[in-house]
């Protein structure tokens, strides 16, 4: 046995006499031991690297300069420049200010006298939109030209039935109507004393916006209803009014109440609603002043129910025949042979065209010791679809 074991060991190169299974076990144990040692070295190296990064971060925070502001007010330089110009006429800051298109509606004019303040312009627009005017329900477009053209196709194309043998005849060709809406200059000229402007507690921008908005709102609202088209927009009541049974393009059709200067009956309101074409009532509204609205509130149908019903929801306004009512004080009162109520789709029927910019000129010389602020805005308006608006006329015929 000793000779055999010695020979076997010499043949396999092993001198310890272990079996192959024990040899594999010993090799695996050594490999695992080496692997654990390698892992410990990696962990130690990573820990040292993390400590170095922590030290660098602490040094940067301690010795570095304070962090810059994460956000800046982009309009602050312009606000300061505008305030300096309004209060003292100093336009040096405006001349050296770089104006971005996204922050301003238009740039300063070459003489340094005209400017547009974004906050002031926004305040004026918000007041105009909240004013009881046709602007709320009309089609409002912004243009960069002196006029705005509306193209209307108000004629039928024409068609006919055909068979296999009869030659097809020529049908009616549609006609396109061009309605041009020129833009007119709307101006306001408020003033303030220089002493008031020197008072730092005075909100000059808010005051200027409110004065201009009040002037522009009243002028626009009146022109959109009764403007004669001479240096001002053309109002809906200025166009020719004809009985709806004889209506033609270029005029507004009306429904007579049958009584001179009075309603006659509530049925006339119903006739007015159904006189409008089928494509318009979905977006239609009534327009009248507060006096007329007070009288309409009392009208009842044949069953004793009020035509003007309260809204079903808490925030929903009352509706007349299911349609909203715009109370515009510039509409005429109920009078003999007068049209005091308009009904229709005013978004299709009336177009307001305007330039979006507001221009302000500071004049400290013409009214000393006061300072004048000359503000201008270009706006126009006219009926763009004569079939979309109907009137209720308080007349016999």
Rounded CA separation 279/211 (Å):
41
Contact call for residues 289 and 331 (beta carbons, < 8 A):
yes
Q: DSSP letters along 108-134, please?
A: PPTTS-EE--HHHHHHHHHHHHHSSSG
CB neighbour list of residue 317: distance below 8 Å, 6 or more residues apart: 311, 324, 325
Cross-strand partners of 350: 383
Contact call for residues 105 and 118 (beta carbons, < 8 A):
yes
- Residue 239 in domain: yes
Closest CA to 366 of 147, 123, 125, 189: 189
| Domain membership of residue 324 as a residue range | 116-154+173-394
- Residue 59 in domain: no
- Residue 45 in domain: no
Contact call for residues 132 and 329 (beta carbons, < 8 A):
yes
* Two tokens, residue 116: 């547009």
Show pLDDT as tens, one digit a residue, over the chain (397 residues). 444 444 444 444 444 566 777 777 788 888 888 888 888 888 888 888 888 888 777 666 555 445 444 444 555 666 677 777 766 677 766 666 554 433 333 444 444 444 555 566 666 666 776 667 899 999 999 998 889 998 888 777 777 787 777 777 777 777 788 889 999 999 888 888 887 777 756 677 677 778 888 888 889 999 999 999 999 999 999 999 999 999 999 999 999 999 998 988 888 999 999 999 899 999 999 999 999 999 999 988 888 888 888 766 666 777 898 899 999 999 999 999 999 999 999 999 999 999 887 788 888 888 888 888 888 889 999 999 999 999 999 999 8
- Residue 318 in domain: yes
**CA separation, residue 262 to residues 64, 289, 305, 329 (Å):** 83, 15, 20, 19
Q: List phi, psi (to 5°) of 181.
A: -110, 100
DSSP 8-state code for residue 278: T
**CA separation, residue 298 to residues 271, 329, 335 (Å):** 18, 19, 17
- Residue 177 in domain: yes
Residue whose token pair is 């309004």: 86
* Two tokens, residue 27: 């090799």
pLDDT at 75: 53
Cross-strand partners of 152: 177
- Residue 21 in domain: no
Residue whose token pair is 């005017």: 133
Contact call for residues 274 and 267 (beta carbons, < 8 A):
no
Cα-trace Rg, the chain: 41
pLDDT tens sequence across 98-129:
544 333 334 444 444 445 555 666 666 667 76
- Residue 12 in domain: no
Contacts 24+ apart (CB under 8 A), 320-323: 320/269, 320/286, 320/296, 321/269, 321/270, 321/273, 323/273, 323/281, 323/284, 323/285, 323/286
Find the helix packing angle between 204-226 and 76-88, rounded to 10°.
Answer: 80
CATH label of the domain that carries residue 177? 3.90.1690
Report the number of distinct structural domains present in the chain.
1
Residue whose token pair is 């402007």: 197
pLDDT at 99: 47
Contact call for residues 112 and 138 (beta carbons, < 8 A):
no
pLDDT tens sequence across 220-253:
999 999 999 999 999 999 999 999 999 999 999 9
| DSSP reduced 3-state for 326 | strand
- Residue 270 in domain: yes
pTM summary value: 0.67
pLDDT at 2: 47
pLDDT at 7: 44
């Amino acid at each position: 046995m000793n000779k055999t074991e010695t020979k076997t060991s010499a043949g396999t190169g092993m001198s310890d006499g272990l079996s192959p299974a024990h040899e594999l076990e010993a090799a695996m144990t050594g490999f695992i031991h080496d692997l654990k040692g390698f892992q410990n070295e990696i962990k130690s190296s990573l820990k040292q690297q993390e400590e170095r990064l922590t030290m660098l971060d602490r040094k940067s925070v301690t010795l570095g300069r304070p962090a810059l502001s994460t956000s800046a007010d982009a309009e602050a330089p312009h606000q300061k420049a505008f305030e300096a110009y309004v209060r003292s006429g100093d336009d040096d800051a405006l001349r050296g200010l770089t104006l971005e298109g996204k922050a301003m509606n238009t740039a300063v004019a070459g003489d340094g006298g005209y400017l547009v303040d974004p906050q002031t312009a926004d305040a004026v627009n918000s007041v105009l939109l909240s004013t009881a005017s046709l602007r709320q329900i009309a089609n409002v477009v912004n243009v960069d030209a002196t006029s705005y053209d509306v193209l209307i196709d108000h004629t039928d194309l024409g068609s006919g039935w055909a068979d296999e043998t009869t030659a097809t005849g020529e049908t009616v060709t549609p006609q396109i109507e061009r309605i041009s809406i020129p833009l007119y200059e709307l101006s306001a000229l408020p003033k303030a004393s220089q002493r008031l402007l020197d008072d730092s507690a005075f909100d000059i921008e808010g005051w200027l916006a409110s004065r201009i908005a009040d002037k522009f709102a009243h002028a626009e609202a009146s022109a959109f209803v009764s403007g004669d088209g001479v240096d001002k927009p053309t109002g809906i009541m200025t166009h020719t009014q004809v009985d709806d049974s004889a209506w033609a393009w270029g005029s507004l059709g009306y429904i007579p109440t049958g009584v001179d200067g009075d309603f006659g009956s509530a049925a006339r309101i119903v006739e007015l609603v159904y006189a409008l074409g089928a494509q318009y009532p979905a977006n239609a509204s009534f327009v009248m002043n507060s006096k007329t609205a007070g009288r309409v509130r009392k009208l009842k149908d044949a069953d004793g129910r009020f035509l003007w019903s309260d809204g079903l929801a808490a925030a929903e306004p009352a509706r007349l025949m299911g349609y909203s009512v715009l109370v515009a004080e510039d509409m005429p009162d109920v009078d003999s042979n007068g049209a005091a109520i308009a009904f229709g789709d005013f978004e299709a029927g009336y177009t307001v065209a305007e330039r979006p910019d507001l221009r302000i000129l500071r004049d400290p010389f013409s009214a000393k010791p006061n300072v004048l602020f000359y503000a201008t805005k270009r706006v126009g308006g006219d009926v763009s679809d004569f079939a979309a608006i109907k009137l209720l006329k308080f007349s016999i015929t």
